């Protein structure tokens, strides 16, 4: 098992092996593995805090576009299509994703319906085709935001509605 300890700008990685320990803290008086566990827990908590902060910012940015006009092929800032919308929102936070929904659905970490979290991209097929043809950003609580061609604007919709639940394909996580 590898452990990570960050002190200031110094990074120590330690692990178990048949050889002598490479842990620089093993020879320090009053140091034990509980210190390492605390540091690992701290790093994990910091990662969770960053994730929470980023997903809140993504949601805030996405919602700032509510009501903006849907236009096929548009990438903002005043009009969007579905994938132009997700690409523009994610780009605000240094996350680069492909331009079209079909390609966006091929990158990131695969996420099942039951594992969706705020900030995940969610993908749909249509009545006409079983291929990915639409994308939105999951907001949690069964809601998502997207540039809707049928509503002609950026809206929040219910993922549990008959249409969206029956056309859901997959989620992808980038945050």
Given 35, 51, 146, 167, the catalytic residue: 146
User: Is position 43 within any domain?
Assistant: no
Residue 23's pLDDT band, with cuts at 50, 70 and 90, is low
User: Is position 93 within any domain?
Assistant: yes
Weakest-pLDDT range from 7-21, 90-104, 115-129: 7-21
| Residue 128, domain extent | 58-173
Q: What is the mean pLDDT of the chain?
A: 85
User: Is position 147 within any domain?
Assistant: yes
Q: For 51-85, how does the pLDDT look when each residue is reduced to its tens digit (9 = 90+)? A: 799 999 999 999 999 999 999 999 999 999 999 99
What letter would DSSP give residue 101?
A: H
Any catalytic annotation for residue 146? yes
Both tokens assigned to 150 = 């049928």
If you average pLDDT over residues 99-113, what whole number do you get? Answer: 98
pTM: 0.76
Domain count, the chain: 1
- Alpha carbon distance 67, 147 (integer Å): 9
User: Is position 53 within any domain?
Assistant: no
- Alpha carbon distance 61, 75 (integer Å): 15
What letter would DSSP give residue 19?
A: S
- CATH code for the domain in which residue 151 is found: 3.90.1720.10
Parallel, antiparallel, or unpaired for β 143-148 and 153-158?
antiparallel
Residue 19 pLDDT exceeds 90: no
How far, in Å, are 58, 90, 137, 174 from residue 93 at the CA level? Answer: 8, 6, 14, 11
User: Is position 37 within any domain?
Assistant: no
Any catalytic annotation for residue 134? yes
Any catalytic annotation for residue 152? no
Both tokens assigned to 161 = 């509605």
Q: For 137-157, how does the pLDDT look when each residue is reduced to its tens digit (9 = 90+)? A: 999 999 999 999 999 999 999
Given 35, 47, 82, 152, the catalytic residue: 82
- Alpha carbon distance 4, 14 (integer Å): 7
User: Is position 11 within any domain?
Assistant: no
Residue 21 pLDDT exceeds 60: no
Residue 11 pLDDT exceeds 50: no
Residue 125's pLDDT band, with cuts at 50, 70 and 90, is very high
Given 47, 134, 152, 167, the catalytic residue: 134
User: Is position 5 within any domain?
Assistant: no
User: Is position 167 within any domain?
Assistant: yes
């Amino acid at each position: 098992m590898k452990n990570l300890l960050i002190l200031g700008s110094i990074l120590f990685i330690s692990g178990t092996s048949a050889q002598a320990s490479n842990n620089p803290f093993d020879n320090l008086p009053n140091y034990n593995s509980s210190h390492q566990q605390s540091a690992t827990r701290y790093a994990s908590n910091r990662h969770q805090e960053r994730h929470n902060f980023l997903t809140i910012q993504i949601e805030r940015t996405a919602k700032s576009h509510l009501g903006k006009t849907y236009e096929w092929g548009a990438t903002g800032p005043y009009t969007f299509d579905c994938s132009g919308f997700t690409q523009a929102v994610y780009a605000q936070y240094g996350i680069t994703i492909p331009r079209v929904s079909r390609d966006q659905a091929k990158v990131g970490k695969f996420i099942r319906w039951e594992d969706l979290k705020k900030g995940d991209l969610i993908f749909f097929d249509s009545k006409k085709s079983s291929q990915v043809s639409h994308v939105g950003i999951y907001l949690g609580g069964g809601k998502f935001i997207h540039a809707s061609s049928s509503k002609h604007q950026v809206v929040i919709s219910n993922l549990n509605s008959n249409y969206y639940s029956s056309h859901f394909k997959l989620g992808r996580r980038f945050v």
